[in-house]
Amino acid sequence: MAEDKSRPHYHGHRSRLRQRLIEHGPDALQDYELLEMVLWAANPRGDTKPLAKELINRFKDFSHVIKATPERLAEVPGIGEAAIASLKMLDAAAVRLTRDRVMNREVLSSWQSLIDYCRASLAYEKTEAFHVLYLDRKNVLIADDAQQHGTVDHTPVYPREVVKRALQLEASAMIMVHNHPSGDPTPSHADIEMTKQVRDAAKAVGVVLHDHLVIGAGDPFSFRSTGLL
């Protein structure tokens, strides 16, 4: 039978990807194939494979693509505002999903879910960001406050402001979290000293600092588990 050249070369490709996802789950798809599916919303009838492959080539993997800033994404030839919006919508959905698993829940008994949320929120940031997770007397997470954003290797933190916010929320405990854009979660001397200052200031008003997590490329650094807190 002669080939029907009126059909685009990717005819049936989308259907096969959908079927593979439904039958075998996301692990059956490569990163660029998942991106293809995300980009369908921005290009319902076009071939999204070339753009998906170019995004992987530029940003390394699926996670780095959806975490890239709109400005960085806009540098990729062939991408438009609709595609950027689709990618950032997926980023927001990923963060919200992990947040919903910990917010208003007792976090010390679901530590991995908390780690997942912190990584989704901070692991791909290009500058340092400092968050404080405030807990009530039952260790239920009641607030995630972004205290400061800094440079690529420094974030100013003011212990008085951290403790003041705890009193406003009537929090009984805190977990501090910040990221290292370098990927190395090893705390600096400044990180260690600042943690001690916050711990002492919080203790003076009856608030417990449970841990300070530093988020990098791999497993986070825990001040509590390494004996620094």
Q: List pLDDT tens digits, range 121-169.
A: 999 988 899 999 999 999 999 999 998 665 545 556 789 999 999 999 9
The letter for the amino acid at 71 is E
Name which residue leads in pLDDT, 200 or 126: 200
Q: What is the CATH number of domain 106-222?
A: 3.40.140.10
Confidence of residue 95 (pLDDT cuts 50, 70, 90): very high
Give the mean model confidence (pLDDT) for residues 88-105: 94
Evaluate if residue 24 carries a pLDDT over 60: yes
Name which residue leads in pLDDT, 150 or 202: 202
Confidence of residue 62 (pLDDT cuts 50, 70, 90): very high
Indicate the pTM of the whole model.
0.82
Q: 214: which strand partners?
A: 178, 221
CATH 3.40.140.10 residue ranges of the chain are 106-222
Evaluate if residue 46 carries a pLDDT over 90: no
Closest of 176, 131, 126, 132 to residue 151, by C-alpha: 126
End-to-end alpha carbon distance in the chain: 73
With contact defined as beta carbons under 8 Å apart, do 110 and 137 qualify?
no
Evaluate if residue 106 carries a pLDDT over 50: yes
Give the mean model confidence (pLDDT) for residues 39-63: 92
User: What pLDDT is recorded for position 9?
Assistant: 56
Length, in residues, of the chain = 229
Of the chain, the percentage scoring pLDDT greater than 90 comes to: 79
Q: For residue 194, what are the CA distances in angstroms to 55, 88, 155, 160?
A: 39, 33, 11, 11
Closest of 96, 92, 116, 114 to residue 105, by C-alpha: 114
Confidence of residue 1 (pLDDT cuts 50, 70, 90): very low
- In this structure, the number of other CB atoms found within 10 A of the CB of residue 22 comes to 9
User: If you average pLDDT over every residue of the chain, what do you get?
Assistant: 90
Q: How far apart are CA 115 and CA 191, in angstroms?
A: 19
CA dihedral 219, 100, 120, 116 (to 10 degrees): 10
Evaluate if residue 7 carries a pLDDT over 60: no
